[in-house]
Structure 1
């Protein structure tokens, strides 16, 4: 079994995106630019409408996948292909941008807590120009398992202790599990060999004995290894995410992620000339 190895420990960086939505960027900063195959992780969390009400008006993507996971609140997705989806508490939006998609994500509330995450998952070179795809998963479509140690596992992607999540991808083989810890306890979970992984603590704190660290809310630990053990002294919420590295060049410019600078330039030209949308409309 591969030895547990810490790659990085980071806290998020406050920033804004879209039309001024305040968020915490955890992957995609100078401290942790990428964690192959993951390109970005943002947490948005606020009960102040001014922090999120302007949302994310129409914008393009090419070359990767976006995953939005809601803990609380409601957002509406619309794209130029005609897809419309309502993302509510506990739901997931999984969108493959592929060769190109233009979409918006707008809050469907004027007050109260809006809390969730967006991940960017890279696509291999031979899939970057594939047809775009949109999948909207209602909360009840995410399998939940109540373990004996009073931990609720929500399995978004991959397979967790025999429970298969609704999202499966061959190239990156993502595993995404939300651990909702209800009391002081310990938990262990196996991870696929060769994957890069991270845990992000979104509530409370947890100890990672193999790393000899305690992570508090808002902290991420990136690591490799074939198992993970967590110890909690109270209630906590932890996202565990892993993926198979693509080990390919990453060239990013804003909402476009390709393998070469020439491909990025082409994406920009295609978007400016309206070709990106027209290509995608052939789907």
Structure 2
């Protein structure tokens, strides 16, 4: 796919451009058996962004920050998306599924009616880095059968849509290139975008999708001249496209969008349903060993 920066910008010049509505910086926390991470969505500043329930960034070369991992725990009613940048994570569930996530791989797990799941580091030292995103399921799908989409790094398209721009397409599409994640209710777009210094690139997005950009390297100007630094998340307005411009030091970010569900949300730890009664039922089912 050979699209110049100028052509890309021209192609979206007459469309509704997204702007930055809110800037959020994550807060340090821990989860699992004490894994240190940064929570960006799911904090008091940004409790959720329909359909996204949580975004955690983990990244450390100190084994004590991650070795305890995420021992077996339940999920019901939503999806977890793990994207590894560095390190190796072994996952296992109570239905016999197992796999190893390595650098560049992604796991899209649909918990549905219930699953017991563990994620444990398969390394004793070195850098462990990546993201976990929680995506809500519509009411009609909350009790569906659990399933995994385990996608190795070499199955994720890496494209150069313009000079100075590299994009890994995990979900959704960019031009004619489609990501490997399939049949997800919220029609997600999940892109890992690297911009060389001072490069500008416009990315088309479905007009009504909720969307955010999280910068994890460098700094970028997003939308209407809003500077977003490393470790900051930009909540975007609706629109057909968003323009990204790297600083003089370049930038790397994830750009994520999904169809909002606009349904009631009831949360209790690893259970996300539509009503409090459904939460009570989830807890009872878990205690009764029905997951």
Range of TM-score over shorter length: over 0.9
Within 1, Cα distance between the matches of 2:162 and 2:226?
A: 25
Within 2, Cα distance between the matches of 1:207 and 1:169?
A: 32
Q: How many residues align?
A: 275
1:215 paired to 2:228: yes
Q: TM-score, normalization: structure 2?
A: 0.92
Within 2, Cα distance between the matches of 1:249 and 1:135?
A: 27
Residue in 2 that maps onto 1:254: 269
The structural deviation recorded for 1:3 is: 5.2
Residue in 2 that maps onto 1:70: 84
Residue in 2 that maps onto 1:201: 215
Q: Deviations over 1:141-196 (max 9, x none)?
A: 10110233221110000111221001134531100000022333111111101111
Within 2, Cα distance between the matches of 1:51 and 1:70?
A: 16
Within 2, Cα distance between the matches of 1:5 and 1:217?
A: 18
Within 2, Cα distance between the matches of 1:121 and 1:156?
A: 15
Within 2, Cα distance between the matches of 1:150 and 1:5?
A: 23
Within 2, Cα distance between the matches of 1:209 and 1:263?
A: 40
Q: Which moved more, 1:173-182 or 1:18-27?
A: 173-182
Q: TM-score, normalization: structure 1?
A: 0.94
Residue in 2 that maps onto 1:235: 250
Q: Does the 8 Å CA contact 1:149/1:186 hold for their aligned counterparts?
A: no
What residue ranges of structure 1 are gaps of 5+ in the alignment? 278-283
The SS at the match of 1:235 is strand
Residue in 2 that maps onto 1:280: none
Within 2, Cα distance between the matches of 1:269 and 1:7?
A: 40
1:177 paired to 2:177: no
Residue in 2 that maps onto 1:85: 99
The structural deviation recorded for 1:209 is: 4.3
Q: Counterparts of 1:139-158 in structure 2 under 5 Å?
A: 139-158=153-172
What residue ranges of structure 2 are gaps of 5+ in the alignment? 1-14
Instruction: Choose which of 182, 186, 194 in structure 1 pairs with 2:200.
Output: 186
Q: Does the 8 Å CA contact 2:19/2:223 hold for their aligned counterparts?
A: no
Instruction: Choose which of 33, 54, 71 in structure 2 pairs with 1:19.
Output: 33
Displaced runs of 4 or more, over 6 A: none
Q: Which moved more, 1:141-150 or 1:125-134?
A: 141-150
